Amino acid sequence: MQQVFTITTRGPGLYEITRELSAWVRGQGVETGLLTLFIRHTSASLTIQENADPEVRTDLRNFFARLVPPSSDPSMRYLTHTYEGPDDMPAHIKAALLPVSLGIPVMDGAMCLGTWQGVYVFEHRDAAHRREVVAHLTGG
C-alpha cells in the first residue's frame, strides 16, 4: 500500500502532516505493520517532534538557521554551490543532517506515536515549495 502526499510549504519551518497520515493509515485496514515515509527532495527533511507547543518548532527552525546560515553569511564563504540562491546549499546541508525517511510502527490500526509526537516536513528553503512524501505501509 502506497500513497504520495503533497505538502505545500511557505518557507522555512516545520509543517505537520500527522493528521493526514493517521487518516490514511486507518483507512488501509492494517492492524499491525510498519509505515515508512520518504521525502522526495534534497532540500527538505522529515522529523518526529513535539506537537503540543509551537515554540518547539520555532526554536528548531531558529537553531538550524544559526547552525547552517545562508551562503551569503561570511562564515559560509567556502561554499561553491551558490548559483541557486543563498538558501540552497544550506538547505542541502540541513537535509543531510536530518532524516529524509522515517519508520513508524503501526499497532491496533494506528501509528504508534507518543502522546506529544507529530510527524513533520521540515522545509529548509526560503520560497514556497510543493513537497512530496511517499508513504509505504506493510503489515497485516
Q: What is the pTM of this model?
A: 0.96
Q: What is the mean pLDDT of the chain?
A: 97
Q: How far apart are the C-alpha atoms of 4 and 25, rounded to whole Å?
A: 13
Q: Which domain holds residue 125?
A: 2-139
**Bridge partners for 6 per DSSP:** 132
Indicate which CATH number applies to the domain containing 115: 2.60.120.460
Q: Are 91 and 125 contacting, i.e. CB atoms less than 8 angstroms apart?
A: yes
How many domains are there within the chain? 1
Band (pLDDT 50/70/90 cuts) for residue 76 is very high
Kindly give, in sequence order, each residue whose CB lies less than 8 Å from that of residue 104, ignoring residues fewer than 6 positions away. 34, 35, 36, 37, 48, 111, 112, 113, 119
Specify the DSSP element, H or E, that contains 25: helix 18-27
Percent of the chain residues past pLDDT 70, beyond the cut: 100
Band (pLDDT 50/70/90 cuts) for residue 140 is confident
